[in-house]
Structure 1
Amino acid sequence: MSKIITVFGATGNQGGSVVEAILADPALSKEFKIRGITRDVNKPKAKALAAKGVELVSADMSSSSSVAPAVANAHTVFLVTNFWESMSSDTEISQGKAVVDASKAAGVQHIIFSSLINASEASNGRLSNISHFDGKARIEEYIRSSGVPGTFVLPGMFMSGFETMIRKNPPNEPAGYTLALPVEPSKAKAPLFDAAEDTGKFVKAAIKNFPSQAGSRILAASDYYTIDQLISEFSEVMGKPAHAVQIDDDKFKSFLSPVAAQELLENMKLLEDPGYYAGESLAGSLALLEEKPTTWKEFVEKNKEKWSNFDH
Structure 2
Amino acid sequence: MATKKIITVFGATGAQGGSVVKSILGDAKMKEAWTVRGVTRDTSKPSAKALESLGAETVAADLNDAASVKAAIKGSYAVFGVTNYWEKQSKEAEFQQGKAMADGAKEAGVQHFVWSSLPNVTKLSNGALTGVEHFDSKAQVEEYLRESGIPSSFFMPGFYMSNLPGGMFRQQPTGEYAFSLPIPGSSPIPLFDSEDDTGKFVKGILLNREKVLGKRILAASRYYTCDEIVELFKQTFPESGKNAKYNELPHTVFKGAMISFGRSEFAAEELLQNMRLLNEFGYYGGEPLEESKEILEEPATTWEEYMKKAKAFAELK
TM, length-normalised to structure 2: 0.94
List alignment gaps of at least 5 residues for structure 1: none
Distance 1:133 1:80 in 2: 12
Q: Which secondary structure state, in structure 2, belongs to the residue aligned with residue 211 of structure 1?
A: helix
Q: Structure 1 stretch 48-57 or stretch 202-211: which is displaced more?
A: 48-57
- Offset of residue 263 of structure 1: 0.7
Q: Is the 8 A contact 2:25 2:55 kept in 1?
A: no
Q: Is the 8 A contact 1:168 1:307 kept in 2?
A: no
The residue identity in structure 1 corresponding to 2:198 is T
- Offset of residue 228 of structure 1: 0.2
Counterpart of 1:41?
A: 43
1:184 equivalenced with 2:187 (yes/no): no
String of CA shifts for 1:65-85, please: whole Å, max 9, x gaps.
231111010000000011011
Q: Which secondary structure state, in structure 1, belongs to the residue aligned with residue 286 of structure 2?
A: coil
The correspondence for 2:141, drawn from 132, 139, 142, is 139
- Offset of residue 104 of structure 1: 0.4
What number of residue pairs does the alignment pair up? 305
The residue identity in structure 2 corresponding to 1:131 is E
Distance 1:5 1:308 in 2: 36
String of CA shifts for 1:244-294, please: whole Å, max 9, x gaps.
011110100001112420011011100112100000000101111111010
Distance 1:206 1:273 in 2: 30
Q: Is the 8 A contact 1:191 1:222 kept in 2?
A: yes
- Offset of residue 308 of structure 1: 5.5
Counterpart of 1:26?
A: 28
- Offset of residue 201 of structure 1: 0.5
Q: Structure 1 stretch 201-210 or stretch 255-264: which is displaced more?
A: 255-264
- Offset of residue 52 of structure 1: 2.1
- Offset of residue 63 of structure 1: 4.2
Q: Is the 8 A contact 2:19 2:195 kept in 1?
A: yes
- Offset of residue 95 of structure 1: 0.6
Counterpart of 2:312?
A: 306
Q: Is the 8 A contact 2:308 2:314 kept in 1?
A: no
Runs of 4+ in 1 over 4 A off after TM superposition: none
Q: Which secondary structure state, in structure 2, belongs to the residue aligned with residue 279 of structure 1?
A: coil
Counterpart of 2:199?
A: 200
Percent identical: 46
Q: Structure 1 stretch 55-64 or stretch 290-299: which is displaced more?
A: 55-64
Q: How does 1:164-179 map to 2 (within 5 A)?
A: 164-170=167-173, 173=174, 175-179=175-179
Distance 2:58 2:17 in 1: 13
The residue identity in structure 1 corresponding to 2:233 is F
